Amino acid sequence: MSTATTPAPITIDVWSDIACPWCYIGKRNLETGLAAASDDADAPQVEIVYHSFELSPDTPVDFVGGEADYLSQHKGISAAQAHQMLERVTGVAADAGLEYRFDILQHTNTVKAHELLHYAKEQGRQLEVAERLMSAYFLEGRHVGRVDDLVDLAAEAGLDPASTRDALESARYLPAVRADQAQASAYGINGVPFFVIDGKYGVSGAQPPEAFTQVARQVWAEHREESAAAAAV
C-alpha cells in the first residue's frame, strides 16, 4: 500500500512495433529522459510495459528486397524518396546514439516478435527482450520474424530456449497481441510509438528526451500529492 512517502510508481505503457524505426528512437529517448530524472533528489519511480502494434501485418516473413524496396511498394513513393526517408531517420537515430544499418536490415513480419515480448513479460524480462529485438533488427541485420532466430535472440536476453520455442510454436500469446491491438484502437492510436502515462496522458511520437524528463517529473509530483492527500484522510 502506498504511503505519503512512497507513492505508487508511474506506469508508462508503450505501443510500438519492432520494425518501426521511430519506435527504437522513442525507446532510447524515453530511457535517456528517465535517466536524467533519476538524478533528482526525489527521483520518479517508473514501470514500463511494451504493447503490440503491427504496422504492416500483411508483410511476409521473408520479404524479398531491402527497406527502400518495402517503402516504395507499400508507401507508393519513388526509390529516391525512400532513400531520402531512410537517410533522415538514420540521422535522427544517430542523434539518439543508435547506428541504424538499413543496408543489412531484413524486413519481416513481426507478429512472432510481439508474441515473444508477451512471453518475456511473463518471465520478467520484457525490457531486455525489447532492447535485444530492436538492436538485432536495426543495428545488426538479424532476422526477427522466424521462430529459430527469435529463440536465439531470446536466449541472448536470458530466456530459456526450449520454453521460448514452445511459447512461439504454440502461438499461445497471440491473443495477448490481439488484445493490445484492440486496446490501441480503443485509445485511438493509429501510429507508433505512442506512450500512455498512468492510463490518462498520451504522448505521441519519438519525443526528445527532455519531454520525457518533464512529464516524468510532472506526473511524479502528482503521485506525491495524491499520496499525501490519501495519508491525510
Question: Grid coordinates standing for 84?
Answer: 531520402
Is the per-residue pLDDT at 4 higher than 60? no
**Model pLDDT, residue 54:** 97
Q: Where does the pLDDT of residue 2 fall: very low under 50, low under 70, confident under 90, or very high at 90 and above?
A: very low
Q: What Cα–Cα distance (Å) separates residue 217 from each residue in 7, 34, 226?
A: 13, 9, 14
Question: Grid coordinates standing for 164?
Answer: 521460448
pTM: 0.95
Q: Where does the pLDDT of residue 186 fall: very low under 50, low under 70, confident under 90, or very high at 90 and above?
A: very high
Q: What is the pLDDT of residues 93-143, one digit of tens each?
A: 999 999 999 999 999 999 999 999 999 999 999 999 999 999 999 999 999
Domains and CATH numbers, the chain: 10-232 (3.40.30.10)
Mean pLDDT (the chain) is: 95
Q: Where does the pLDDT of residue 6 fall: very low under 50, low under 70, confident under 90, or very high at 90 and above?
A: confident
Average pLDDT over residues 187-197: 96
Q: What is the pLDDT of residues 60-94, one digit of tens each?
A: 999 999 899 999 988 889 999 999 999 999 999 99
